[in-house]
Amino acid sequence: MSKRRHPTETPVSINSIDRRDALKYIAMSAIGAVPLMAPGGVMDGLVAEVVRGPGSGDQISATAPATTKSGRIRQWSMIIDLAKCDGCQSQGTPPQCTTACIEGHFAPQPMEWIEVYEGEVDGGGTQFIPTPCQQCENPPCVKVCPVGATFSTPEGVVLIDQDRCIGCRICMAACPYDRRFFNWGNPPIPPEAALADYSVEQQVPATTGTVMKCDFCPEMVRDGTLPYCVQACPNDAIWYGDLEEDIATNGRTIVKASRLISENNGYRLKEHLGTQPRVHYLPGHGEDVGRDPGDEGRMPSEWPWIERAEGAVSWTR
Amino acid sequence: MDTVTNWRERLISRTTRPARITTYKYWLWLGLLIVITGNGAFQYWNQLQDGLYVTDMRDRISWGLYISMFIFFTGVSMAGTVISAMLRAAKAQWRASITRVAEFITAFALMIGAGFIIVDMGRPERILSVYLHGRWQSPIMWDVMAITTYLTASVIYLYAPMIPDLALFRDRLKDKVGGLRNFVYRTLALDWNGSSTQFRLLGKAITIMTLIIIPIAVSVHSVVSWIFGMTLRVGWNTAIFGILFVAGAVFSGLATLIIIMAVLRKTYHWEEYITERQFRSEEHTSELQSH
């Protein structure tokens, strides 16, 4: 500063930093933080308050989870037999699981919560893969939600609270299975759906600007019926079960779930990601549907109630 | 001594000129900006009515221009505060004429960037849920916290060194501007009288802010990368994003600074104060960063 002073420079330099001063300020701020860190101090309560569990589940706590006779909470799971699924090509209809789901849940127009993908099998042939939400036990979507709008229930189902969702869509980016859908416009709501009482397990009626997805129908199973998609499958390809009691049913027979999976070389989608999905697949052998996968000839899903929805906006996916 | 006084007077008259004189060009520019802003407001009203449907984003491409703009403006905001803080800490004398520009860029780029997040939300009226039900496990929560902290810090960092200048505006422009602006200058100048005690206290405050703001800025730019890096989307799920975002922010920040300075220099004829030296030094800084 003994050199020529710049004319704009103020008389006492307000800009230069003394290294010693700098260290002093840093040390002071560090000491100030110590009492907060001490064991049993403010921090402990604060940590409990600030670091909340994954998801709030405010809504769901009112509903008691389904339990086995001995009182253990049931763990819902799905087993999909790809050898049996032919994408409803033999029926000449759109995939009936998708249609039933749309009718039951009033899923807004372009959403297919259980979507039937089509792919080639090694060695020729076509494989149809019905894909509901995989209900991960280690769900990446739940982890990233900033407001706890999506959460895992004690039954192992991942649900979304549309009354809390802020529509930031980070869960959609986080989902490796692409199984989350956003209400881009004002969703089409038929009158019967508009009258329904909203519940996180039903997601009816839909809300603009929130995320939706397959909810695994836990309330239906608690009432003693099977989810829409399981009921609708003409080939009995979808098994719904409880991993706690180790049973699964496709509506026709009841089997031991673990045995069904292991005896048929069951696998899960993208297992290497560590998401621990609850949906298991039994590999298919490839049906001959007389056309290449993805070619025209497959029927698109229909939304049978869409005419009754007033002011419906539908978008393409 | 006389030359210095002359120089000083000329500097003050040149720099306060925009505050004293309003040309028709100003009103033209303001009108153009109002038209653009009004159009934006109208489109946003449409979006509030019809949902994010109007943006043509869809499930697979669920983030579009809004989030790109958010990232862009947060990146640009690096310009200011950090570069000015780094130069302050390094005692680089040539910074004198550019720090204010840089700090303004930061404060306003951050405000615009944070706005884009709200525009992108499906249900903006639930923004307070982030505070009521916030979860620290979510990268978005860290985003909100980092950006609000950074914004507060940069506004303080912009304001503190500006107090003597506001006092100068208060004293010199008393008769030349209206009552409202006089009131604003008077209030913001906080009874600054230029005593050595005030200078010492202000210097201390600025020193503290300089030390605090660099780590905050680095945290902001790495935290912003988490909203991509912590998802499982292919191409986003990578650890390089933190470094990439900080490095990218430094470069785009410097570039913005150079552009804005060039515009100000031309418009207000500040060639005498923003010299080629500043541009050259900024190039060197940019080169240094790239190594």
Q: How does pLDDT run across B14-38, given as a tens digit for each residue?
A: 888 888 888 898 999 999 999 999 9
Lowest mean pLDDT among A288-297, B121-130, B234-243: A288-297
Produce one character per residue of A234-244: b if its CB has 16 or more CB atoms within 10 Å, e if not: ebebbbbbbbb
Tally A–B CB contacts below 8 A. 179
Greatest Cα pair distance, chain B, in angstroms, is 69
Q: What is the pLDDT of residues A40-60, one digit of tens each?
A: 555 555 554 444 444 444 545
What's the rounded Cα separation, in Å, for the pair B183 and A140? 53
In a shared domain, residues A272 and A227:
yes
In a shared domain, residues A23 and A149:
no
In a shared domain, residues B286 and B173:
yes
Q: Tell me if A211 sits within 8 A of A178, measured CB to CB.
A: no
Helix axes B99-120, B65-89, angle to 10 degrees: 150
Q: Count of alpha carbons within 13 Å of A278, Cβ hemisphere only? A: 28
Apex CA A311: angle with CA A308 and CA A314, to 5°? Answer: 90
Instruction: Assess whether pLDDT exceeds 90 at residue A306.
Output: no
* Residue at which a domain ends, from B31, B56, B81: B56
* DSSP tag of A300: P
At A142 the three-state DSSP class reads helix
In a shared domain, residues A42 and A177:
no
What's the rounded Cα separation, in Å, for the pair A193 and A189? 6
In a shared domain, residues B209 and B68:
yes
Asked whether the beta carbons of residue B53 and residue A315 sit closer than 8 angstroms, the reply is: yes
* DSSP tag of A155: T
In a shared domain, residues B30 and B85:
no
Asked whether the beta carbons of residue A175 and residue B232 sit closer than 8 angstroms, the reply is: yes
Complex ipTM over 0.85? no
Instruction: Assess whether pLDDT exceeds 70 at residue B122.
Output: yes
Instruction: Tell me if chain A has a CB within 8 Å of the CB of B26.
Output: no
Cis peptide before A277 (omega within 30 of 0): no
In a shared domain, residues B34 and B148:
no
Q: Tell me if B102 sits within 8 A of B79, measured CB to CB.
A: yes
Question: Domain of B13?
Answer: 1-56
Asked whether the beta carbons of residue B59 and residue A6 sit closer than 8 angstroms, the reply is: no
Single pTM value for the model:
0.83
What's the rounded Cα separation, in Å, for the pair A237 and A244? 21
Confidence of residue B123 (pLDDT cuts 50, 70, 90): very high
Domain count, chain B: 2
In a shared domain, residues A33 and A132:
no
In a shared domain, residues B48 and B186:
no
In a shared domain, residues B132 and B249:
yes
In a shared domain, residues A96 and A206:
yes
Greatest Cα pair distance, chain A, in angstroms, is 94
In a shared domain, residues A178 and A74:
yes
User: Is A8 within a domain?
Assistant: no
User: Is A7 within a domain?
Assistant: no
Q: What is the pLDDT of residues A203-231, one digit of tens each?
A: 988 999 999 999 999 989 988 899 999 99
In a shared domain, residues A205 and A103:
yes
For residue B259, the domain's CATH number is: 1.20.1630
Instruction: Assess whether pLDDT exceeds 80 at residue B96.
Output: no
Question: Domain of A40?
Answer: 19-50
Domain count, chain A: 2
The closest CB to that of B130, out of A17, A56, A147, belongs to A147
* DSSP tag of A41: S
In a shared domain, residues B137 and B273:
yes
In a shared domain, residues A249 and A221:
yes
E-only strand ranges, A145-189: 150-152, 158-160, 181-182
Asked whether the beta carbons of residue A12 and residue B123 sit closer than 8 angstroms, the reply is: no
In the sheet where A247-249 sits, what is the strand order?
A254-256, A247-249, A238-242, A76-81, A279-282
Closest CA to B80 of B276, B273, B258, B264: B258
From chain A, the residues in CB contact with B92 under 8 A are none
Q: Tell me if A177 sits within 8 A of A270, measured CB to CB.
A: yes
Task: Compute the mean pLDDT over every residue in chain A, rounded to the nearest whole number.
Answer: 82
What's the rounded Cα separation, in Å, for the pair B41 and B46? 9
Average pLDDT over residues B50-66: 90
Asked whether the beta carbons of residue A172 and residue B62 sit closer than 8 angstroms, the reply is: yes
A3 vs B180, residue with greater confidence: B180
